[in-house]
Amino acid sequence: MKSHEKNIDLQSKYSVTAFFYDLLDYPWERQYRQWRPALVGDLRGRVLEAGVGTGRNLEFYHQDVELLGIELSEHMLRKAERRKAKARCDVTLVQEDATVMSSIPSHQFDWVFSTFMCCVMPDDIQALALEQFSRVLKPGGRFRLLELVYSKNDKIRKKQQAFAPFVEKVYGARFDRHTLQHLERSAHLKVTHTSFLKDDTYLLIEGVRDS
Ligand SMILES: C[S@@+](CC[C@H](N)C(=O)[O-])C[C@H]1O[C@@H](n2cnc3c(N)ncnc32)[C@H](O)[C@@H]1O
């Protein structure tokens, strides 16, 4: 399947998932909500949020941010539009594919930020998105990505494996994507720090575009 077709597949998945996304995600969102303020709170300047979803991060951006949120699914984007009113900063939301970003000129952003988008993207598509992150970041611009990954702890991993078919069916997400490895192959994006927000399952990847 070509990358374009894979994205059409994801889009049609999210045209259904969007209607019950917030309800379905609620048990996890209770945890994510504790993390989101710190994840975006120190971002300043022009920020691109990729895979903005239903707009869960919008209310936590600092007022000195000028935010462009992009999202593949028009149905998810409609939900995010409703959350825009809660934001303290300027927010523009557009339907745009993170692997293409045809409407976005190069070297525009101080930050690229994303929560749980790369783990939704098939591996070969991820590399395309990372190329676009590199293109749209200013030299010296920074990125921060939060991803789901498999735990090395047997007990936790077994639980994740039990959930995996559901997570893939509903969100298109997998625990075994290779975001970090793709980043290591990137010509211009350099990972500067990785950490886990919980156990060894919620991986935060931070880095910089070289200047
Ligand atoms: C699991 S949701 C996470 C949503 C949100 N970031 C959050 O933290 O709640 C993943 C989102 O990424 C979007 N997405 C997937 N592939 C994308 C792409 N190529 N371009 C833009 N958005 C994409 C999906 O449509 C979906 O809304």
Mean pLDDT, residues 144-156 taken together:
97
Count of domains observed in the chain:
1
Decide if 77 contacts 54 (C-beta within 8 A).
no
Q: Tell me which residue of 51, 185, 72, 208 sits closest to 138, measured CA to CA.
A: 208
In this structure, which residue's CA is closest to atom 12 in ligand 1? 51
- The Å distance, Cα 10 to ligand 1 centre, comes to 9
Res. 86: pLDDT tops 90: yes
> What is the reported pLDDT for 7?
85
Ligand 1 centre distance from Cα of residue 171 (Å)? 9
pLDDT at 140 over 80: yes
In the reported structure, the alpha carbon of residue 173 is separated from the centroid of ligand 1 by a whole-number distance in angstroms of: 10
Distance (Å) from CA 49 to ligand 1 centroid: 10
Q: Which atom of ligand 1 is nearest to the CA of 171?
A: 1
Find, among 31, 97, 86, the residue nearest to 54 by Cα: 86
| CATH number, domain containing residue 155 | 3.40.50.150
Measured distance CA(98)–CA(128) in Å, rounded: 8
Beta-ladder partners of 114 = 145
Mutate to test the pocket of ligand 1, among 20, 97, 117 (most ligand atoms within 8 A of CB): 117
**Mean pLDDT, range 61-89, rounded to an integer:** 97
Q: Can you list the positions of beta strands (E) in the chain?
A: 45-50, 65-71, 90-95, 109-115, 137-148, 189-196, 202-209
Question: For the residues 129-142, what does the mean pLDDT come to?
Answer: 98
Question: Measured from the CA of 129, which atom of ligand 1 is nearest?
Answer: 19
Residue 115 has pLDDT above 90, yes or no: yes
Task: State the distance from the centre of ligand 1 to the C-alpha of 121, rounded, in angstroms.
Answer: 9
- Domain with 29, as residue range(s), is 3-209
- To the nearest whole percent, how much of the chain has pLDDT over 70? 99
Return all residues near 26 (Cβ < 8 A) that are at least 6 apart.
none
Longest dimension (CA), the chain: 46
Q: Is 53 in the pocket of ligand 1 (CB under 6 A)?
A: yes
DSSP-derived secondary structure for 169-206 = HHH---S---HHHHHHT-SSEEEEEEEESSTTTEEEEE
> Which pTM was predicted?
0.96
Helices 3-17 and 21-40, packing angle to 10 deg: 110
Nearest-atom number in ligand 1 for the CA of 25 is 9
Q: Report whether residue 56 contacts ligand 1, using a CB cutoff of 6 Å.
A: yes
pLDDT digits (tens, 9 = 90+) for 20-43: 999 999 999 999 999 999 999 999
How close is the Cα of 168 to the center of ligand 1, in Å? 13
Residue 8 reports pLDDT greater than 90: no
